[in-house]
Amino acid sequence: MMIKTLNDVINFIEDNLANDIKLEDVAAYTGESDYHFRKVFQYISGIPLSEYIKNRKLAVANQDLVNGCSVTDTAFKYGYQSVDGFTRAFKTWSGYLPSEIKKTKIHLTYPKLSFYIDVRGGENMEVRIKEMPAFTIAGVSRRVPMQFEGVNNEIMELAKSITAEEREEMHRLQNLEPEQIINASYDADEKFLKDEGSLTHMIGVLTTKENISPVLDTVSVDAHTWAVFPNEGPFPETMQQTTARTYSEWLPSSNYELVEAPGFSFTIMDAEREDYAYSEIWMPVRKVKMQ
């Protein structure tokens, strides 16, 4: 997905603010899969696509109210099924009732997005493409709160909770590259970039074996192509920065798109340097034609 495509989508949304904009229609406009487009849009923009569309609708609704449109006409114009629903959404967004805006003429804005390339000097990004068969991730899992930077204490507690029996079973099952204890994240709430909501986090191993003990949780993953991003440096900053670059730099310029499957990573801490590690980030992808 190129930067031009993202800006074209923004213009498409602007042209249809008074229409019922379905998220899958926005993705279809780009020729990308719905999952890939929403994921990349959210990572690059920092806001879910649905929330961006809602905020833009409410911003132009604010302008209509200032210009004298009635609350009822404005509510239905921007797709709300009732005045009450519009009033609640507008109050949450702005802190004001629509009737207050109509009376006081307060201008509230939410500018449309504009994407551009920020070139800050060349920096190599290593990636290798790996074909993998279907497998199961077997390990321990729980819902954990979102945290984009720093060490997630809930994940640390999950790691500490692994019993000797669970470790032994993971060791028995492990039979697939990268043959490391991995961290997989999936089922994230839409607000995952705002340190809000939660996701499912699993610490486990990749296996093709079927006789898995019930002491472990499992999630099945179909056969996919994987983009693998090795990185080395201060932990966890280097790995988090690499993850950000996969979305903001590699995906927009590659001929690959994300597949809806759990991504995973593993980390090997340096024995001599504290908070320094080698990591790999594995992202499920598929090849697409360049537009």
Task: Check: CB of residue 261 under 8 Å from CB of residue 222.
Answer: yes
Cβ-count burial of 213 within 10 angstroms (0-12 exposed, 13-18 middle, 19+ buried)? middle
Pairing mode, strands 182-186 and 198-207: antiparallel
Q: How far apart are CA 235 and CA 232, in angstroms?
A: 8
| pLDDT for res 190 | 59
| pLDDT for res 209 | 95
The structural domains of the chain, ordered by start, are: 3-104 (1.10.10.60), 128-287 (3.20.80.10)
Q: How far apart are CA 222 and CA 120, in angstroms?
A: 38
| pLDDT for res 148 | 58
Torsion of CA 83, 88, 93, 96, to 10 degrees: 80
pLDDT digits (tens, 9 = 90+) for 194-207: 445 678 899 999 99
**Ranges of the chain with pLDDT below 70:** 1-2, 116-124, 146-151, 189-197, 289-291
The 3 state secondary structure assigned to the chain is: CCHHHHHHHHHHHHHCCCCCCCHHHHHHHHCCCHHHHHHHHHHHHCCCHHHHHHHHHHHHHHHHHHCCCCHHHHHHHCCCCCHHHHHHHHHHHHCCCHHHHHHHCCCCCCCCCCCCCCCCCCCCCCCEEEEECCEEEEEEEEEEECCCCCCCHHHHHHHHCCCHHHHHHHHHHCCCCCCCCEEEEECCCCCHHHCCCEEEEEEEEEECCCCCCCCCEEEEECCEEEEEEEEEEECCHHHHHHHHHHHHHHHHHCCEEECCCCEEEEEEECCCCCCEEEEEEEEEEEECCCC
In the chain, what is the straight-line distance between the N-terminal and C-terminal CA atoms, in Å? Answer: 8
pLDDT digits (tens, 9 = 90+) for 18-68: 998 888 888 888 887 888 888 888 878 878 888 999 999 999 999 999 999
| pLDDT for res 6 | 82
pLDDT digits (tens, 9 = 90+) for 268-288: 999 988 889 999 999 999 988
| pLDDT for res 131 | 94
Task: Check: CB of residue 177 under 8 Å from CB of residue 236.
Answer: no
Q: How far is CA 45 from CA 53, 54, 109, 122, in A?
A: 12, 15, 17, 22
Q: Is the pTM of this model over 0.85?
A: no
